[in-house]
Amino acid sequence: MRKDQAQLITSLLKRNSKALVYTYTNGFCGFSARLTAEEARSIAQSPGVVSVFPDPILQLQTTRSWDFLDSMSYKKISPSTTDKQSSSSNEADTIIGFIDSGIWPESPSFNDNGMGPIPTRWKGKCQEGFDFSYTNCNRKIIGVRFYKDVFGRPFLSGRDNLGHGSHVASTASGSRVENISYYGQATGTARGGSPSSRISVYKVMDSIHNEDGVDSLV
């Protein structure tokens, strides 16, 4: 802990022994505390203090995560949920690859409404397999491949039987889907961080039904 930080904390604790909440020493040098507005202004003017800012109160809402991140960032990371999905965005030329458990192509998060042609530089393929046809790919899901596991048993399809791969893909680049809620909570428009980006899936894990009747991840 730096000397000036220790002095600030000592002074603060003399006024209110319960004011200090936490000290930070690894990622950066600082502390969190319960302060009055006047105390915050006073500390902000102290030598060695870079900034003083309030801790925002956020509610758990599943359809607004990226909006929360946008509101806390000086640089906007994605378009507003009110914007229409558009292939004119620079995101439309971005292809995000996911090495995971596959994808569930019927999910509304992977619709290609409003998306333009697939970038000509794309050289991947949509690999057919069990319960997965090349028609399951579209202008959103532009690539799907699956591989053999370390035991030699093939994953016979790019389809996601676990849900993890689909969840990750929709979080990163899911299309906008309106009127989504979590059991009626936080109704709104769900979307990924980059909703106009393309998706390429590489299925490298799946669940198997072993001799004991237990599903295992491989």
Q: What single string gives the DSSP state of each residue in 73-97? A: -SS--S--TTSPP-TTSGGGG-EEE
Give yes or no for a contact between 57 and 66, defined as CB atoms under 8 angstroms apart: no
Spatial separation of the C-alpha atoms in residues 8 and 71, rounded to whole Å: 30
Give yes or no for a contact between 136 and 105, defined as CB atoms under 8 angstroms apart: yes
Q: Which of helix, strand or coil describes residue 108?
A: helix
pLDDT digits (tens, 9 = 90+) for 35-60: 889 988 988 988 888 889 888 766 65
What pLDDT is attached to residue 125? 95
Give yes or no for a contact between 33 and 19, defined as CB atoms under 8 angstroms apart: yes
pLDDT band at 77 (very low <50, low <70, confident <90, very high): low
pLDDT digits (tens, 9 = 90+) for 90-124: 667 899 999 999 999 999 999 999 999 999 999 99
Q: Domain spans of the chain?
A: 3-44, 81-217
Query: How much is the average pLDDT of 76-83?
Result: 48
pLDDT band at 80 (very low <50, low <70, confident <90, very high): very low
What pLDDT is attached to residue 214? 44
pLDDT digits (tens, 9 = 90+) for 113-122: 999 999 999 9
Buried b (16+ CB within 10 A) or exposed e, 108-134: ebbbbebbeebeeeeebebbbbeebee
Is the pLDDT score of 151 beyond 80? no
What pLDDT is attached to residue 172? 94
Query: How much is the average pLDDT of 10-22?
Result: 87
102-106, 144-148, 196-200: least confidently modelled range: 144-148
Is the pLDDT score of 156 beyond 80? yes
What pLDDT is attached to residue 61? 57
Burial status of residue 52 (CB atoms within 10 A of its CB: 0-12, 13-18, 19 or more): middle
Q: Which of helix, strand or coil describes residue 10?
A: helix
What pLDDT is attached to residue 4? 77
Per-residue H/E/C for 149-207: CCCCCECCCCECCCCHHHHHHHHHHCCCEEEEEECCEEEEEECCCCCCCEEEEEECCCE
Distances (CA, A) of 204 to 60, 104, 128, 129: 32, 15, 15, 14
DSSP 8-state symbol, 125: -
- The second-level CATH assignment, the architecture, of 81-217 is 3-Layer(aba) Sandwich (3.40)
pLDDT top residue among 145 and 82: 145
pLDDT band at 164 (very low <50, low <70, confident <90, very high): very high
- Predicted TM-score of the model (pTM): 0.63
